[in-house]
Amino acid sequence: MSQNAPPLDPPQRLLMGPGPSAVHPRVLEALAKGTVGHLDPYYLELMDGLQGLLRQLFRTNNELTFAVSGTGSAGMEATVVNLIEPGDSMVVCINGVFGSRMAEVAERAGAVVTRVERPWGEVFSVEDLESTLEQARPKVVGIVMAETSTGAYQPLEEISRRVHEAGGLLLVDAVTSLGGVPVEVDAWGIDAIYSGTQKCLSCPPGLAPVSFSPRALEVIRSRKTKVQSWYLDASLLASYWGSNRVYHHTGPINMSYALYEALRLIHEEGLEACFARHLLHHEALAAGLAALGIGYTAQPGHRLPMLNAVAVPKGVDDAAVRRGLLEDFGIEIGGGLGAFAGKVWRIGLMGYGARTNNVLLFLAALEHLLAKQGHPFSAGSGVAAASAHYT
């Protein structure tokens, strides 16, 4: 018997961080169904079903819509490396960690990257991009819809129009947004988009839903060089996900079961109802936090419902509170990344996690820990304010 390998026994956690988020019990059940082969007639049907459900969620007719066999970051890399050839101009909008990551990925793919930056927590307007679009004449403009490091909620419609006027393709990071707020791929003219399973889809991490517009597909088809990644080559993947079913790699069967069930849950609830639920619990949480004197970091009017990034109150020990939440209550929230380390908490209300019980329990636990640290607030006021919002 091997050393250092005790039986698997993960603790029960209430996942209220930036993801992975709470997984729906039906999704865990799906995950444990018996594995079939990746060319089994049943699995091929399931792939069709998955594609159909993803198209409905992305609100698109894009044929090239599927799940990359990797996490959200693999989705980012897949969209970038398929669109970019060495020497291509790409503009990346950076107002947090994930914009920076996209720029890094694009440079490694050989893009000449122009970074447009905004302070963390703020969003981009068309005006912020004007001069760069003129000068860089980008083939691709990359932007993050829901910046998980800051909680900023980026509007896309106008920017998409302007990018297309300038002859570029719009590439969108929807890792945290998909399933929590409307993502209108066709109506907004998004050319390439990626997400992850572990945010608002109530599913464990492991797959990255992606979609490419016909315009993006045309660009991919007329490449002069091969895509640098064989694993992520969209043309090869299209032959496996498409009707010819050419074997490419062995898909992650059980994770596909989980994503399928997760998407069924969303469509059972209905997209509008699902988005409304995320908003409701966000507002309740925000009311509770406000009562405790805790404010948001993202600019007003541009706050994500599913990812509440808030300032750690002055005099309060960030790490001690997060440790207390985890150890005493089994609740995970996220700390700040990069420039926000030690200064920000990131509270996720994503998918199955966006529920009344979670909001109230979290606020009660937070009040308990803040009181221990001598933070001034009226006892019970956070829970009461959130509770009032539900009536």
Tokens 């720029």 identify what position? 103
CB of 286 to its own copies, least distance (A): 23
CB of 39 to its own copies, least distance (A): 9
Nearer to its own copies, 56 or 132 (CB): 56
Nearer to its own copies, 71 or 356 (CB): 71
Nearer to its own copies, 33 or 372 (CB): 33
DSSP string, 3-42: TT-PPP-PPP-EE-SSSS-PPPHHHHHHHTSPP--TT-HH
Nearer to its own copies, 124 or 240 (CB): 240
Question: Which tokens is 140 given?
Answer: 């691709």
Helix axes 356-372, 318-329, angle to 10 degrees: 120
CB of 191 to its own copies, least distance (A): 21
DSSP string, 228-256: S-STT-HHHHHHHHSTT----S---HHHH
DSSP string, 123-139: ---HHHHHHHHHHH--S
CB of 46 to its own copies, least distance (A): 8
CB of 5 to its own copies, least distance (A): 5
CB of 41 to its own copies, least distance (A): 8
Helix, strand, or coil here: 96?
Answer: coil
**Contact 137/89 with Cβ under 8 angstroms?**
yes
CB of 314 to its own copies, least distance (A): 25
CB of 154 to its own copies, least distance (A): 21
Cα–Cα distance measured from residue 256 to residue 262, given in angstroms and rounded to the nearest whole number: 10
Nearer to its own copies, 293 or 330 (CB): 330
Nearer to its own copies, 64 or 97 (CB): 97
Nearer to its own copies, 155 or 205 (CB): 205
Q: Name, in order, each residue with C-beta under 8 angstroms of 327's C-beta and a sequence gap of 6 or more.
A: none
Nearer to its own copies, 51 or 160 (CB): 51
